[in-house]
Amino acid sequence: MRTLRDIAALREALDDHRRRDQRIALVPTMGNLHDGHLALVAAARRQAEVVVATIFVNPLQFGPNEDLAAYPRTLAEDQAKLEAAGCDLLFAPDSAALYPHGLDHQTQVRVPQVSEGLCGGARPGHFDGVATVVAMLFNLVQPHLACFGEKDYQQLAVIRKMVADLHFPLEIVGVPIVRAEDGLALSSRNGYLSDAERQVAPALYRTLSRARDALEAGEAPEPVLSEANEALRQSGFAPDYLELRARDLGPVTATTREAVLLAAARLGPARLIDNLTLTLPT
Ligand code: PAF
């Protein structure tokens, strides 16, 4: 696997694959890779001849009081994992390569509606930063497909809408959440948890699972959600949101059947997110 740091080298390497008519898959990441990321690489590997991963801790998607400086950077370990997973090319630019004129004057992509509320409500500007860097990576790599994890459900919805609205000629592949044995969704931010907090963390998945079962059994959403919120608080979480939405993130109406339950909650220094899809009874 080759690691490339600059745009010219990336373009040159990809031109070579394109000349050979090879199908290219992109796996954008912020590094500190775990088995959830490696599932993205495996999905990409199944569907393309060339797998390009990117590692870039994108400053544009972090708020002023968020964990940009603390975000774990583990390039050597990540390179070894990507190589073992069958990745062909790693693009790992620095901020000056992608944003040579700084962040303040950067052209940005804003995806309306679907970026609002949920994580977009708690993290203003976050999805503009995500959409901007992902659009940039799509332009640089021009992949046939790109893989994203379903853990970041709203992010995936934002990217799907951006691709549709801007007519990017590529397929977006959503890859199911990878969980630890105790149910906790894998995330780089789990590394912020102390041993005691790590013991508590799976309560997020258990609480969502109980709420999903109750909703699928026909219980009224409002009491189910407020009970789940209270259960999270009792376990030691500070919930940011816990919401039931239609799968397209629109509001649930009397006719909605395919829904998703989404939550973000702080536990100690970590902000954890998770979601479960469900089918509401008629
Ligand atoms: O999901 C992530 O790791 C990031 O938001 C992404 C998609 C790589 C954009 O920086």
End-of-domain residue from the set 136, 153, 175: 175
Domain that holds residue 39: 2-175
Q: State whether 154 and 224 are in the same domain.
A: no
What is the model's pLDDT at position 198? 98
Q: State whether 148 and 28 are in the same domain.
A: yes
What is the model's pLDDT at position 85? 98
What is the model's pLDDT at position 170? 98
Nearest-CA residue for atom 1 of ligand 1: 29
Read off the pTM. Answer: 0.98
Region 3-17: mean pLDDT is: 97
The answer to whether 251 and 171 have CB atoms below 8 angstroms apart is: no
Could you tell me the CATH number of the domain that includes residue 253? 3.30.1300.10
Q: State whether 128 and 242 are in the same domain.
A: no
Region 12-32: mean pLDDT is: 97
**Count of structural domains, the chain:** 2
- Ligand 1 site residues (CB inside 6 A) read 28-30, 58, 61, 130, 133-134, 152, 155
Q: For 136-174, how does the pLDDT look when each residue is reduced to its tens digit (9 = 90+)?
A: 999 999 999 999 999 999 999 999 999 999 999 999 999
Q: State whether 100 and 33 are in the same domain.
A: yes
Q: How far does the centroid of ligand 1 lie from the alpha carbon of residue 29, in Å?
A: 5
Q: How far does the centroid of ligand 1 lie from the alpha carbon of residue 54, in Å?
A: 9
At 9, the pLDDT band (50, 70, 90 cuts) reads: very high
Pairing of strands 258-267, 145-149: unpaired
At 232, the pLDDT band (50, 70, 90 cuts) reads: very high
According to DSSP, the residues that pair with 243 across neighbouring strands are 262
At 225, the pLDDT band (50, 70, 90 cuts) reads: very high
Q: How is the chain split among helix, strand and coil, in percent rounded to 5?
A: 40, 20, 35
What is the model's pLDDT at position 221? 97
17 catalytic per annotation:
no
Q: Which residues neighbour 32 within 8 Å (Cβ) at sequence distance 6 or greater? A: 71, 72, 73, 74, 78, 188, 191
What is the model's pLDDT at position 172? 99
Nearest-CA residue for atom 3 of ligand 1: 29
What is the model's pLDDT at position 178? 98
Residue 143 CA from chain centroid, whole number: 18
In ligand 1, the atom with minimum distance to the C-alpha of 149 is 1
Q: Which residues neighbour 156 within 8 Å (Cβ) at sequence distance 6 or greater? A: 148, 149, 150, 172, 174
Q: Which of 37, 105, 144, 167 is catalytic?
A: 37
Q: What is the mean pLDDT of the chain?
A: 98
Q: For 35-62, how does the pLDDT look when each residue is reduced to its tens digit (9 = 90+)?
A: 999 999 999 999 999 999 999 999 999 9
What is the model's pLDDT at position 57? 98
Q: State whether 69 and 162 are in the same domain.
A: yes
Q: How far does the centroid of ligand 1 lie from the alpha carbon of residue 84, in Å?
A: 21
Nearest-CA residue for atom 5 of ligand 1: 130
Q: How far does the centroid of ligand 1 lie from the alpha carbon of residue 126, in Å?
A: 11
Q: State whether 143 and 26 are in the same domain.
A: yes
Q: State whether 105 and 204 are in the same domain.
A: no
Residue 232 in any domain: the answer is: yes
Q: Which of 32, 82, 133, 190 to mutate to test the pocket of ligand 1 (most atoms within 8 A of CB)?
A: 133
Region 170-183: mean pLDDT is: 98
Nearest-CA residue for atom 2 of ligand 1: 29
What is the model's pLDDT at position 135? 99
Q: What tokens appear for 235 in the block? A: 């376990």
In ligand 1, the atom with minimum distance to the C-alpha of 159 is 7
Tell whether the torsion through CA atoms of 12, 14, 17 and 19 is positive or negative.
Answer: negative
Residue 233 in any domain: the answer is: yes
